[in-house]
Structure formats: structure tokens, C-alpha cells
Amino acid sequence: MSRFDRIIDRRNTNSVKWDTKGIFGAEDVLPMWVADMDFPTPDEVIEALKTRANHGILGYTMPGSDTEAAIRGWLKKRNNWEIDSSSITYSPGIVTALSMAIQAFTGPEDKIVIQPPVYYPFFEMAKKHKREVLYNHLRLTSDNRYDIDFEDLEEKLSDKMTKLFIFCNPHNPSGRVWRKEELIKIGELCVKHNVILLSDDIHSDLVLFDNQYTPIASINESIANQTITCIAPSKTFNLAGLQTSVVLIKNDTLRRKFNAVQELYGLMTVNTFGADAMEAAYKHGEVWLNELIHYLEDHILFIENYIKEKLPEVKVTRPDASYLVWFDVRYLQKSDEEIMELLLEKGKLALEPGSKFGENGAGFLRMNIACPKETLKDGLDRFVKALK
């Protein structure tokens, strides 16, 4: 029996994911929507949190040299990426970092490029800051994967008012890991047109089926100097509630601008428990993570076979990374509102509607499969019941 088969009741714990009545209007809904896992974090992380709590003093905290060494060691071992400690800064979360970057590197008249369907805070934060958003829509290929329209991308990056490109690698919601040759094209275009590249790489530790993730900032010096990379242990080790992320900025001028905006909003420290948890995870979490990756791969193979047998009209996009699965249900010829009504009323199942990720996500659904096998089977049964 895998350690990930254990079912833990998360209801009545103020869980955004599981305390569903306030969001979906019912308590009997199975939540497979928001991206956190139903697995306990590694034992070493829990012990680090206990040690800190038992110390009893929870004063202002800044990650020290041991934490920086853990981050550097993790990136070197997992991605063969060597970084300097000077490039490391911190943020309560990647969405917070995104907001800070928009304010640091763009003005009210400037434009921001994104690639829908994509993690919705990309365009939500840009719009909240009253920036114009340029959409470089990803193209769905015949094998149900996404690729980039580079001609359109260059047109949008070449606009003199475009100052920031918010990129996602691995891609959320589809799980696509971009190939190195694609990343080189992206980086070179950003350098050519002097557009700052913010790369959200939060799912990069969760690479599946021997796919190869490359940090875009690791490719060469010129791309690195144009890039801000956001990583975090939150998705990898289920630590989102501890509000601790890492922002890697090699370019000293960009880093100073970014930090100046963070200081403007009083974001000079990090969560005490978050810093300790991150250090422990990066130092000791690799065995746990490797087991998790195999568990998720088995889940995905099970899903593919199950859907092929029970509901073959649905197209399943196999993720290269992450614990999120992207379903194409356009054969239903229903609006996302109608599909969600079927799921909630008939299946008692909560998923993310594709239109939440952009207009070209309509007719798709995102399922979070980071749950025990028994829960996954229940969710798939509900999925088929709702849509068949």
C-alpha cells in the first residue's frame, strides 16, 4: 500500500478545496478543482515545523544561508541549474510576485502578453492593474496538445508598448512542458524586443513520464538577464498554506526594481514556518517526491484507460507535468455553465471549467488528481455519471 493511498478527512478544516458549501452551495460535492493535494507533506517537513513550534518563539524571520543553500542544491540536482545566492528573493506567493512584477516593470499605458488557455490570475492581475492584455492564443494540435503561434507572438512582443510577457512552464492547465528549442525562440524574442519575461515554473518539480523540463533562465546569459523565474515548494510538497515562494532574478537592476515594489507594500519578510518547511522540503523531500511522481503516473494511465472504456467521446490530454488533467468535452456542444451544472447537480463533482483559463478553454475541464486512488475512482465515476 502506498503512503499516498491514505484518506484524510479535510472537511471542517477551513480548507478552500474541501469546505465546499460556501463555494458550490453543497457539502456533498467531491472537490477536484483547486490545485492542492490531499496528501500529507513529507515527514521531514512536519518535523521541521514541530521543531520550530516547540522552540516557542515565532518572531520576524528571514531565510538564511542554509535556506539559500537548500534552494541552490535543489535546482542543481533536479534541473542542473546553478544559480547565485544573490539572485534569490522571496514572495508570499507567485500571484503576489506577479502583481509586484506588473507594478515594477509596466506602467498604465503598457501592454502584457499572455498565452491562453492559461492560469487565470495572469490576465486577472493584469486587468486589475488596468494594463492592456495581448493574447497569444495557444494552438491545439491534432494529438490534443498545445503549441505556440510564434509569428503571432513576435507581432505582440514587437509592439513598442509591450513590456512584460507572463509565461507558464510547465503549462497550467494542460501540463505541457515546453521543449528547449521552443524556450530558446521565446527567450530570443524577448531579448530582441526588450520585453521582460516572467516565467511561472511552479509545477516544474512534478515532471512525469521522463519528460525534460528546462528553466528558461538557464539557457544563456542574455535570456537569464531578461527573465524572472518564480518557483515554490507549495505545489510540489503541498505547502500552499504556508505562503512562501522564491523569485529568481539574475539581473541586478530588475531585482532591485522588484524588491523596491515589494518593500513599498511591506513585503520584506516571509512566513516563519514557510521558510523552515521550504528548507526541509528541498533538503530531504526528494524520495517522497519521486514516489509521488510514480503514483501520479499510475493515476494518469488509469484515467486514460477508464475514460477510453466508459466515455470515449472525451479526449484526455496527458500532462507532461503536474497533477492536473485537461479534458476536452466539446462533443457535448454545451456551454461551460451547462457542463458545470451537470457535474454539480448530477455528478456531485466540482472541477474547474475551461473558460476560466481563457475563451479558448471553453468546452474543456480541469481535474485535480492529487488524491488517493479510491478518491480518484469515485471522481471518475461521478464524471461519467454526469456526462454520459
Residue type, 329: V
Residue with cell 530570443: 188
Question: Rounded mean pLDDT of 10-27?
Answer: 88
Q: Is the pLDDT of residue 1 over 90?
A: no
The pLDDT, as a whole number, for residue 107 is 97
pLDDT of 6 reads: 96
- List C-alpha distances in Å: 107 to 25, 126, 165, 383: 40, 11, 14, 44
Q: What distance in Å separates the CA atoms of residue 341 and residue 359, rounded to the nearest whole number?
A: 19
Q: What radius of gyration do the chain's Cα atoms show?
A: 21
CATH number of 3-42+286-387: 3.90.1150.10
User: pLDDT value at position 16?
Assistant: 92
The Cα–Cα gap between 25 and 20 comes to 7
List the grid coordinates of 164: 512584460
What's the residue count for the chain? 388
- Nearest CA among 21, 26, 33 for reference residue 345: 26
pLDDT of residue 193: 98
Q: Rounded to 5 degrees, what angle do the CA atoms 287, 293, 297 make?
A: 150
Confidence check: pLDDT of 23 > 90: no
Question: What are the tens digits of pLDDT across the range 57-105?
Answer: 999 888 999 999 999 999 999 999 999 999 999 999 999 999 999 999 9
In this prediction, residue 24 carries a pLDDT of 85
pLDDT at residue 111 tops 90: yes
Distance (Å, whole) CA 254 – CA 97: 13
Segment 181-204 shows an average pLDDT of 98
For the chain, the average pLDDT equals: 97
Query: What's the grid cell of residue 119?
Result: 492560469
Sequence ranges of the chain with CATH classification 3.90.1150.10 = 3-42+286-387
**58-283 CATH fold:** Aspartate Aminotransferase; domain 2 (3.40.640)
Q: What pLDDT digit, counting tens, does each position of 352-382 carry?
A: 999 999 999 999 999 999 999 999 999 999 9
pLDDT (average), residues 319-334: 98
Please compute the mean of the pLDDT values over residues 39-56 and round it to a whole number: 98
- For the chain, residues classed under CATH 3.40.640.10 are 58-283
Q: Is residue 82 within 8 Å of residue 72, measured between CB atoms?
A: yes
Percent of the chain residues past pLDDT 70, beyond the cut:
100
**Spatial distance between the Cα atoms of 71 and 204, rounded to a whole number of angstroms:** 14
Instruction: Quote the CA–CA distance of 138 and 133 in Å, as a whole number.
Output: 15
pLDDT, residue 269, reads 82
Cα 384 off chain centre by: 27
Q: 321 in helix, strand or coil? A: strand
- Model confidence over 209-225: pLDDT tens digits? 999 999 999 999 999 99
pLDDT value at residue 259: 97
Q: At 198, which helix (H) or strand (E)?
A: strand 196-200
pLDDT for residue 20: 82
Enter the pTM of the model. Answer: 0.97
Q: Which tens digit of pLDDT belongs to each residue from 257-294?
A: 999 999 999 998 889 999 999 999 999 999 999 999 99
Question: For the chain, how many helices (H) and strands (E)?
Answer: 14, 15
